[in-house]
């Protein structure tokens, strides 16, 4: 064992990626802690309170684009039992309502055993135009570390592959970062050449192709076909919110674990957010290992139109409005 290897290991220990729920959990703990006031303490408290919406947005990976995202509004009712069919109908209507909005921004993240694996930034228009930026942490998503008990990914945030898919009118461009060694950075693709697979049919390794097709077709991505997860043998609860929105939850068996899902429908009937956790599993699925995920949407009433990329310029997600501090940006 060389000194370099030891130092490399020690440096690796300092590169852990915090869970996206870290800041909200800290704020929650501070809320419940007895306090001793001072001017500085008050300063922290006020700043923390003022930043609560932003901080929750960080947890949801909604950075700088989430006026309607924050702590759930107070509920006006206690949860009541409902049927999976009722929930599925409500969710499908909520998705349709969302797609009818002039514009939608969405931010999605999926994790494997708490490690951030994939983040997506979606900018969707009612006419089907769409920009989708997807960043995948290859060390987390594709090294199979989850197959080894008590293991961790070899690194985090070091090897990030970014795809940009742009559907604008009749054109579909895509690029990847790092760019290819040869050929143009931007590729103009015939939609018929894309693999004809749905996200549900494609495993994690094929996700870029499946996502590309969905992006090209103007499909608002919710991950690997989430409606499949609304199964008939799930236990469903419905909770009406004071603002007219509804929170649906479903607990259902999945392989050797349990899926816990929450779908939030806004007062106007649009889908606000979806989150899920795969818990109590003894073996992580090899083909689709994501164990938790969330996607949150923001409706835009008067969005700018989406235009094809400047194919002479190097692909840069920032050109499409991606916030500079969007997760997994260091790779």
Partner 1 sequence: MLVEQHAAVTYRLAAAIVGTADAADVTQETFVAAWQQLPKLRDGGAFEPWLRRICVNRARNWLRARNRRPQAVLDIGDDRAVEALPDLRGDFRGAVEARALVEPAFEGLTPEQRAVLALHYSMGLSIAEAADALGIRVGTAKSRLNAALTALRREIENPLRDVETEPAS
| Contacting residues toward partner 1, per CB under 8 A | 1, 5-16, 18-19, 22-23, 25-27, 29-30, 33-38, 40-41, 43-45, 47-48, 51, 54-55, 58, 114, 138, 142-145, 147-148, 150-152, 154-155, 159
Which helix (H) or strand (E) element contains residue 214? helix 207-216
Length of the chain: 331
Q: How far is the CB of 151 from partner 1 (least distance, A)?
A: 6
Cα(280)–Cα(249) distance, rounded to whole angstroms?
17
Q: How far is the CB of 124 from partner 1 (least distance, A)?
A: 28
Nearer to partner 1, 141 or 220 (CB): 141
Half-sphere exposure of 69 (CA within 13 A, CB side): 28
CA atoms 151, 153, 154, 156: torsion sign: negative
Q: How far is the CB of 61 from partner 1 (least distance, A)?
A: 14
Q: How far is the CB of 34 from partner 1 (least distance, A)?
A: 7
At 297, list the tokens: 């949407």
Nearest Cα to 176, choosing from 202, 149, 204, 138? 138
What's the angle, vertex CA 65, arms to CA 87 and CA 221, rounded to 5? Answer: 45
Which helix (H) or strand (E) element contains residue 141? helix 138-141
Q: Read off φ and ψ for residue 121, nearest 5 degrees.
A: -120, 120
Residue with token string 């002039």: 102
Q: How far is the CB of 59 from partner 1 (least distance, A)?
A: 11
Nearer to partner 1, 43 or 255 (CB): 43
Q: How far is the CB of 258 from partner 1 (least distance, A)?
A: 21
Q: Which residues pair with 118 in a beta bridge?
A: 110, 136
């Amino acid at each position: 064992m060389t000194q370099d290897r030891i130092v490399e290991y020690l440096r690796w220990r300092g590169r852990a990626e915090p869970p996206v729920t870290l800041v909200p959990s800290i704020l929650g703990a501070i809320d419940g802690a007895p306090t001793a006031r001072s001017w500085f303490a008050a300063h922290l408290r006020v700043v923390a309170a003022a930043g609560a919406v932003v901080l929750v947005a960080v947890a949801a990976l909604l950075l700088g684009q989430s006026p309607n995202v924050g702590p759930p509004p107070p509920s006006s009712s206690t949860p009541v039992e409902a049927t999976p069919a009722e929930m599925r109908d409500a969710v499908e209507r909520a998705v349709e309502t969302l797609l009818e909005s002039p514009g939608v921004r969405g931010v999605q993240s999926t994790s494997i055993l708490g490690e951030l694996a994939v983040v997506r930034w979606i900018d969707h228009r009612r006419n089907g135009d769409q920009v989708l930026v997807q960043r995948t942490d290859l060390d987390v998503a594709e090294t199979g570390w989850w197959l080894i008990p008590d293991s961790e990914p070899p690194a985090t945030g070091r090897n990030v592959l970014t795809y940009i898919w742009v559907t604008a009118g009749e054109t579909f461009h895509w690029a990847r970062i790092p760019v290819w060694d040869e050929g143009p950075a931007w590729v103009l693709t015939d939609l018929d050449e894309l693999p004809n697979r749905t996200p549900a049919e494609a495993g994690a390794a094929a996700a870029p192709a499946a996502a590309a097709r969905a992006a090209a077709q103007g499909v608002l991505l919710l991950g690997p076909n989430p409606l499949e997860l609304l199964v008939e043998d799930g236990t469903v609860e419905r909770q009406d919110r004071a603002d007219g929105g509804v929170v649906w939850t479903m607990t259902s068996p999945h392989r050797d674990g349990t899926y816990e899902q929450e779908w939030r429908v806004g007062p106007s009937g649009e889908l606000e957010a979806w989150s899920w956790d795969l818990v109590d599993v003894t073996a992580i699925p090899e083909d689709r290992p994501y164990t938790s995920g969330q996607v949150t949407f923001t409706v835009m009433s008067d969005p700018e139109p989406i235009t094809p990329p400047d194919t002479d310029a190097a692909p840069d997600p920032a050109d499409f409005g991606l916030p500079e501090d969007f997760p997994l940006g260091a790779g």
